[in-house]
């Protein structure tokens, strides 16, 4: 039974305020904190900000107040294992289509804490508890390391937002080691070729060199990954760049010349026709992020229009764990690939690592293998893999 809930402001990895919740039950105290994106799709649930002078309008005291003054009393004495009922209650309390009254950041932080408390109430690790909602098997995802940053995540002229290496070894620990080695190789190459300006970091821990040529960036990565069995994923975040700047031919050329495994958001979030055409034409995974925003309605539209065959899942795009589970189940029913994703403004909360394992996602994005808030997710995956290995020996 939920005994107490208290929210407060903390700072995320960009130094912007975000929400942290403490939820107390008979089994203990459970914390959760929510991330924030720099490039946000227009169909995402609304992140409530103060829009007042402190923190350049980025404060979250209103969201915190909504938890402490509105949500807390409504969910007190509720059963923490009743995730769906609690999430539906918060959605009803908000009363808007996009969670703009209470704030998706307020609702999600509570929803995450409830999920953690629910797992403890059943004496299960979080990933196994989550897996009960999917009735499948747990699986460690392949990591997508964002080692070179552009777009809204960096102060350079690269339009592509994320250049990711995706190692393909048998275990997560091996994949992590490969990603870490490539990251350090890339640092040495950029330092040698460009100098200190080449190893300035972007928001997600990847390097943000002062270059503007996508192919030059890819060539640097291929040199750093020489001898390694890797694929490359690109988050083009096309909703953030000039309309029509890139065409299918551009992506065809990249897929021909580099080991591309997926293109994420290669076109703008409303350019259904281009998404359909590239999904039909290219033999790589076409992933929707801003296109889908972890939203059931958008995912169904994309299926009907044959617009993609992969989905980014971001818990703060939709704002509750229950709705996230529903989105994942729908995507899985279509046979699409799933990438569980962090945001550029992160905390050390590792919830998405357990989500990826428990939902059997194929991939996870948590930035570069560097910086505390990114490593929190990767360290959690290493720990889970070790636990699973011990169960089978």
Catalytic residues: 204, 314
CA-derived radius of gyration, the chain: 20
Comparing CA positions, the residue from 379, 378, 383, 337 lying closest to residue 361 is 337
Enter the tokens of residue 231.
Answer: 């694929």
Which residue shows structure tokens 């360290």?
379
Angle at 352 (CA atoms; ends 204, 34), nearest 5 degrees:
70
CB 205 within 8 A of CB 161: no
131: number of Cβ within 10 Å:
20
Whole-Å CA distances, 164 to 73, 182, 288, 351, 366: 44, 11, 16, 21, 10
CA distance 41 to 21: 25
| Cβ density class 274-291: b for 16+ within 10 Å, e for less | bbbbbbeebebbbbbbbb
Enter the tokens of residue 391.
Answer: 């169960």
Enter the tokens of residue 363.
Answer: 């991939």
Enter the tokens of residue 332.
Answer: 């899985």
Report which DSSP code applies to 263: E
CB 94 within 8 A of CB 102: yes
CB 363 within 8 A of CB 166: yes
Enter the tokens of residue 317.
Answer: 């795009």
């Amino acid at each position: 039974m939920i005994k107490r809930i208290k929210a407060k402001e903390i700072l995320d990895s960009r130094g912007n305020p975000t929400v942290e919740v403490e939820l107390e039950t008979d089994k203990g105290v459970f914390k959760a904190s929510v991330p924030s994106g720099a490039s946000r799709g227009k169909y995402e649930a609304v992140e409530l900000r103060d829009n007042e002078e402190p923190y350049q309008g980025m404060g979250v005291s209103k969201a915190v107040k909504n938890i402490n003054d509105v949500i807390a009393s409504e969910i007190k004495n509720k059963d923490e294992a009743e995730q769906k009922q609690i999430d539906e209650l918060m959605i009803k309390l908000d009363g808007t289509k996009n969670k703009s009254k209470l704030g998706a950041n307020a609702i999600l932080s509570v929803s995450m804490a409830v999920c953690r408390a629910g797992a403890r109430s059943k004496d299960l690790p979080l990933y196994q508890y989550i897996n009960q909602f999917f009735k499948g098997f747990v699986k460690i995802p392949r990591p997508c390391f964002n080692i070179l940053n552009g777009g809204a995540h960096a102060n350079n002229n690269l339009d592509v937002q994320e250049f990711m290496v995706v190692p393909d070894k048998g275990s997560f620990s091996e994949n992590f080691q490969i990603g870490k080695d490539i990251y350090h190789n890339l640092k040495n190459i950029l330092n040698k070729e460009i100098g200190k300006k080449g190893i300035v970091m972007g928001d997600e821990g990847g390097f943000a060199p002062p270059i503007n040529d996508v192919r030059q960036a890819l060539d640097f990565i291929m040199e750093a990954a020489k001898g390694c069995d890797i694929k490359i994923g690109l988050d083009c975040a096309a909703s953030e760049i000039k309309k029509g700047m890139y065409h299918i031919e551009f992506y065809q050329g990249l897929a021909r010349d580099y080991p591309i495994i997926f293109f994420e958001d290669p076109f703008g979030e409303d350019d259904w026709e281009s998404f359909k055409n590239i999904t039909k034409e290219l033999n790589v995974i076409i992933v929707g992020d801003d296109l889908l925003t972890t939203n059931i309605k958008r995912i169904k539209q994309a299926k009907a229009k044959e617009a993609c065959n992969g989905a980014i899942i971001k818990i703060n795009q939709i704002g509750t764990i229950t709705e996230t589970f529903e989105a994942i189940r729908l995507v899985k029913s279509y046979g699409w690939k799933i990438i569980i994703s962090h945001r550029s403004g992160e905390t050390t909360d590792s919830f998405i690592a357990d989500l990826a394992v428990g939902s059997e996602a194929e991939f996870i994005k948590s930035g570069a293998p560097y910086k505390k808030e990114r490593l929190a997710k990767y360290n959690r995956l290493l720990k889970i893999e070790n636990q699973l290995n011990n169960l089978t020996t």
